[in-house]
Amino acid sequence: MPKTEVILTHNIVGLGAESDQVKVAAGYARNYLFPHRLAIPLTSANKRQIEVLRQRRAEREAHEFNTMSELARSISKLTALIKVKTGDDGKMFGSVTSGTIADELKHQFDITLDKRKIHLEHAIRTLGDHDVELRLHAEVTTTLKVHVESANPLPQPAEPEKAHAGRDGRERGPRTEKRGRRPEGRAEVPEKAEKPEKATKAEPSSKAAAKEHKPAKGPKAEKSEKPAKSEKSDKAK
């Protein structure tokens, strides 16, 4: 594929910056760089613009340095919160990558940052606090604090029961509920029977009821009159 030499008029990542003379594919220059005014052909007339392009490049780099330095100071005071799904044992499902951090910076702080400027030695796979290096500029680096926590609440351990004092004043362990059979030789205590309610005054007593059912006595029979004593018999004759 034929190559052609061009002068870059804008900064192109991976290719060069303003005033750089680079060789590219002829089709790439003809179909992309020249139409978008990102480069100009290398000719004697165009070489005169190199000094102007170098001045523009210096101004751009100074502006970027100041901007990134200010951004670095702001980011160093931030803490990005990232919630992840975890299992019952607290282990993460998946990992946190540079792309995840870039998305959270945009969502939480409205900071647009190329994920290639976020340098992770390895993806984050544990909960807690992590320090992540950001290379914002060739001469500007900073550290972002990232806090990773579980999106679903972790089970809390049960609190142990407090020890209680026995009758002798000594502390004893927590009471445990015993179930099962009662120990032999100990009779079950019967529940107290409820006392019957007292009869109200309206109800007749047993004696009164007996009197009512006793047959009534008839009229007393008149005593037969005793026969009048006969006159004393005449004295014996």
Residue-range domains of the chain with CATH: 3-68 (3.40.5.10), 76-150 (3.10.430.100)
Write out the chain's pLDDT in tens, 237 residues.
Answer: 689 999 999 999 889 999 999 999 999 999 999 999 999 999 888 888 999 999 999 999 999 999 999 999 999 999 999 999 998 887 888 899 999 999 999 999 999 999 999 999 889 999 999 999 999 988 999 999 999 999 886 566 666 655 555 566 565 655 555 555 555 555 555 555 555 555 444 444 444 444 454 554 544 544 444 444 444 444 444
What is the reported pLDDT for 233? 46
Give the model's pLDDT for residue 59.
Answer: 94
pLDDT given at position 98:
94
- Let me know: does 19 contact 54? Beta carbons within 8 Å: yes
Alpha carbon distance 53, 10 (integer Å): 9
What beta strand segments (E) does the chain contain?
A: 3-8, 21-25, 39-41, 79-84, 118-119, 128-137, 140-150, 164-165, 171-172
Hey, which residues does 132 pair with through a beta bridge? 144
Alpha-carbon distance of 105 to 110, in angstroms, equals: 6
